[in-house]
Amino acid sequence: MNAPSRIDGGMIGRSVPRIDGRLKVTGAACYPSDVGVEDAAHAFLVTSTIARGRIKQFHLEDAQAVEGVLDILTYENTRGKVGKARFFAGGGYTSTTIMPMDSPKIWHDGQIVAMVVAETFEAAREAAHKVRVDYDVREAVAGFGDTRPQPRQMSNPLSGSDPKTGDAEKAFREAEVQVDAYYATPTQHHNPIELFTTTCVWSGDTLTVYEPSQFVHGLKNGLAQQLNMSADKIRVVSPFVGGAFGSKAALTPRTAFVALAAKRLNRPVKLVSTRAQAFTVSTYRAETEHHVKLGADRSGRLTSLSHEGWEVSSRPDNYKVAGTETTSLLYACPNIYTKVNIVHADRGTPGFMRSPAEVPYVYALECAMDELAVALTMDPVELRRINDTQVNPIDGKPYSSRALMQCYDRAAEAFGWSKRNPLPGSMTDGDWLIGWGCATACYPSNVAPAEARVTVAPNGTVRVQTAGHDIGTGAYTAIALTAADLLGVPLEQVSVELGDSTLPPAPVAGGSNATASICNAVAQACEDIRDRLAQAASHADGPLGGADHGAMRLRDGRLVTPDGRSEPLKDALTRIDFGPMESYVKYTPEIASGTVKVMGHKMLESGLPAMTSGSAAGDHIQYAFGAEFLEVRIHRRTREIRVPRIVGAFAAGRIISPTTARSQLLGGMIWGIGSALHEATDIDRRAARYLNDDLAEYLIPVNADIRDVDVIFVPEEDYQVNALGIKGLGELGNVGTAAAVSNAVFHATGRRIRDLPIRIEDLL
Work out whether 354 is an interface residue with ligand MOS (CB under 6 A): yes
Please state, as a whole number, how many other Cβ atoms lie within 10 Å of the Cβ of residue 578.
8
**Using CA atoms, how far apart are residues 287 and 724, in angstroms rounded to an integer?**
37
Determine the distance from the C-alpha atom of residue 199 to the mean position of all C-alpha atoms in its chain, rounded to a whole number. 24
Nearer to ligand MOS, 495 or 663 (CB): 663
Quick check: is 176 catalytic? no
> Catalytic residue among 366, 631, 731, 761, which?
731
In the bound complex, what is the minimum distance in angstroms from residue 245's beta carbon to ligand MOS? 6
Planar angle of CA 689, 676, 412, nearest 5 degrees: 165
Q: How far is CA 205 from CA 199, 202, 234, 747, in A?
A: 16, 7, 9, 64
- CA distances to 11, 159, 643 from 698, in Å: 41, 35, 19
Question: Which of the stretches 156-164, 348-356, 477-485, 555-563 binds ligand MOS when contact is defined by CB under 6 A?
Answer: 348-356
Angle at 698 between CA 112 and CA 218, to 5 degrees: 45
CA distance 209 to 233: 11
Interaction of residue 353 with ligand MOS, rule CB under 6 A? yes
Comparison of 246 and 295: residue with beta carbon closer to ligand MOS: 246
Site string for ligand MOS, 241-280 (x = CB under 6 A): ----xx--x-------------------------------
- For residue 52, the one-letter residue type is R
- In Å, how far are 258, 360, 663, 705 from 602, measured between CA atoms? 28, 34, 34, 47
Q: CB under 6 A: which stretch of 22-30, 332-340, 352-360, 392-400 binds ligand MOS?
A: 352-360
Interaction of residue 352 with ligand MOS, rule CB under 6 A = yes
Q: What type of residue sits at position 201?
A: V
- What is the closest distance, in whole angstroms, from the C-beta atom of residue 318 to ligand MOS in the complex? 19
Scanning 346-354, 481-489, 531-539, 699-707 for contacts with ligand MOS by CB under 6 A, the matching segment is: 346-354
Based on CB atoms, which residue is closest to ligand MOS, 319 or 352?
352
Q: Which is nearer to ligand MOS, 572 or 732 (CB)?
A: 732
Q: Which one-letter DSSP state was computed for residue 579?
A: S
Cα separations (Å) of 178 from 185, 257, 293, 336, 412? 23, 55, 7, 14, 26
CB of 667 to ligand MOS, least distance (A): 13
Told to check if 212 binds ligand MOS by CB under 6 A, we report no
Residue 248 CB, shortest distance to ligand MOS, in Å, is 8
Using CB under 6 A, which residues numbered 481 to 520 contact ligand MOS? 510-511
Angle between helical axes of 658-677 and 475-487 (0-180°, round to 10):
160
Ordered strands of the 336-344 beta sheet: 177-185, 288-296, 302-313, 336-344
Give the residue with the Cβ less far from ligand MOS, 197 or 214.
214
Whole-angstrom CA distances from 747 to 127, 182, 260, 438, 572 are 55, 19, 57, 11, 64
Taking residues 299 to 338 in sequence order and writing x for each that binds ligand MOS by CB under 6 A, - otherwise, the string is ----------------------------------------
Q: Name the minimum Å distance from CB 351 to ligand MOS.
A: 8
Position among 32, 268, 356, 757 found at the interface with ligand MOS (CB under 6 A)? 356
When the beta carbons of 215 and 310 are compared against ligand MOS, the nearer one is 215
Residues 289, 286, 649, 22: what is their CA dihedral angle, to the nearest 10 degrees?
-170
Residue 526, amino acid = C
**Number of residues forming the site for ligand MOS (CB under 6 A):** 10
C-beta of 653 vs 730, nearer to ligand MOS? 730
List all residues 6 or more positions away from 627 whose beta carbon is below 8 Å from its beta carbon.
Answer: 404, 407, 408, 410, 411, 412, 438, 439, 440, 441, 648, 649, 736
> Whose CB is nearest to ligand MOS?
246
| Residue 730 CB, nearest approach to ligand MOS (Å) | 7
List of residues contacting ligand MOS (CB under 6 A): 214, 245-246, 249, 352-354, 356, 510-511
Active site residues: 731
